Amino acid sequence: MPKPDRYAAAVRRAPRLSPDAAAIIRGVSELLLDEPPAVLADQHDAVFASIREMFRSEPSLSAEVMASSRGHNLHWAASLLRDPGEPVAVNLSTEVVGIARDAFRLGVAHDLPAAYHAGKSALWRNWMRLAFTVSTAPAPLQEALDVAVGSLNRYIDDTLAALTELLESESAELTRGTHAQRFETVSLLLEGAPMTTERASERLGYRFDRRHTAVVLWMDPREPDPRALRRAAEAVGTATRARQVLSVIASSSSTWTWLANADRVEASALEAATAQFQGVRIAVGPDDTGVDGFRRSHLDAVEAQRLVQRLPTLRVATFADVQLVALATHDDVRARDFVSRSLGRLATADPELQSTLRTYIREQFNASRAARVLFTHRNTVLNRIQRAEAMLPAPLATNGLEIGVALEILHWMGPPPGTSDGPRA
């Protein structure tokens, strides 16, 4: 998307920088480009605290918020690294514009400035802290801080102005048409607003006197493809022989779909049916009936999506796959404590040992069946189990349930921060 020239050329140049101050700004920029987890977490916490609950609870919107914040950090830091004394052009990248459009569709675009300024404040706190790790020389530090804070303030103000101009120019398109009307009606149903079944059916063209299966389809907010999402939703309906399919654009990177009287939904079948749509991921709720079932199935699909997002290599999952972990992980801190207490040293051990023991327990403590699932020899499985058991704080024979649940949580949540590269499929 082209960037407005008048913002890119906002010629309010900073005074000529001394070499020492420029070196400090470049040094901090390099640190930010490494994306320190503590900086990102602090910024995300600040942004989420300033916006509405829907942006925290709906996984696709939450991911879009984080992608937008990350995009701004990288854009600003990269620009300062190239030339610390130059104004930074506004950032109207896909992830930045996508979440702004979603806020407009949801009627909360006026919340954008508060979110941007909350993120800016958190970023600036961390920028100052990082600056003092780069240099402790008073004069260059003061100069670098003055230039950087001016640059950040101008960048945020100019980007907000550009977004406002863009959204105003697109306002008619964003608020008209059947998709906006469908989303409004579906949102009311999901919130439990009083609405007759007949009225909802009339507005959506979808019957509620059937069995419903909710499906959430989403993509990376940095590379959304609405056409792929739409076609994947159609393929899901075809693969499950649904009597009727209702699809609603939920955000710039996600679609909500309901299947009426579909065949039993198998994750493997959906994965095969949507394999051609690169980047599309799918979470499926359980079958349920009526308007309440329409709502419950969707909420369970969203819960499955929340967990699946932690496993970047997993494309399709049903709520049945994750319901135990969903119940056990509503409090992340307590869930992590449970894993640590139940698994001991195994919680941070070789993922191959964890995976083997998890499969062994899932296969009802049968080494031969576990070997078939893992495509390995039975003796190899037994050897790994013996090594894994040696790390457990309590015997597997008397604590199999707790250990099995802990391994499921570990599988879906990923290892504790700082112990591995991330979650595994």
Our measurement of the distance from residue 417's CA atom to the centroid of its chain's CA atoms, rounded to an integer in Å, reads: 17
pLDDT in tens, the chain (425 residues): 444 444 444 434 445 789 999 999 999 999 999 999 899 999 999 999 999 888 888 889 999 999 999 999 999 999 999 999 899 999 999 999 999 988 888 888 888 999 999 999 999 999 999 999 999 999 999 999 999 999 999 999 999 999 988 888 877 666 555 667 788 888 888 888 777 888 888 888 899 989 999 999 999 998 889 899 999 999 999 999 999 999 998 888 999 999 999 988 888 889 999 999 999 999 999 999 988 999 999 999 998 998 888 777 789 989 988 888 877 777 778 888 899 999 999 999 999 999 999 999 999 999 999 999 999 999 999 999 999 999 999 999 888 989 999 998 888 877 765 554 433 43
Task: List, in order, residues 6 or more apart from 267 with CB less than 8 Å away.
Answer: 284, 316, 317, 318, 321
Torsion of CA 274, 280, 286, 289, to 10 degrees: -90
**Which has the closest alpha carbon to 98: 275, 284, 224, 272?**
224
Domain ranges of the chain: 5-175, 178-321, 329-413
CATH of region 5-175? 1.10.490
Which class would CATH give 178-321? alpha beta
316-318 vs 281-284, strand pairing mode:
parallel
**Which has the closest alpha carbon to 409: 320, 334, 333, 339?**
339
Task: Encode the chain in three state secondary structure.
Answer: CCCCHHHHCCCCCCCCCCHHHHHHHHHHHHHHHCCCHHHHHHHHHHHHHHCCCHHHHCHHHHHHHHHHHHHHHHHHHHHHHHCCCCCCCCCCCHHHHHHHHHHHHCCCHHHHHHHHHHHHHHHHHHHHHHHHHHCCCHHHHHHHHHHHHHHHHHHHHHHHHHHHHHHHHHHHHHHCCHHHHHHHHHHHHHCCCCCCHHHHHHHHCCCCCCEEEEEEEECCCCCCCHHHHHHHHHHHHHHCCCCEEEEEEEECCEEEEEEECCCCCCHHHHHHHCCCCCCCEEEECCCEEHHHHHHHHHHHHHHHHHHHCCCCCCCEEEHHHHHHHHHHCCCHHHHHHHHHHHHHHHHHCCHHHHHHHHHHHHCCCCHHHHHHHHCCCHHHHHHHHHHHHHHCCCCHHHHHHHHHHHHHHHHHHCCCCCCCCCCCC
Domains 5-175 and 178-321 share a fold: no
Query: What's the rounded Cα separation, in Å, for the pair 44 and 69?
Result: 7
Q: What angle do CA 76, 82, 86 make, to 5 degrees?
A: 70
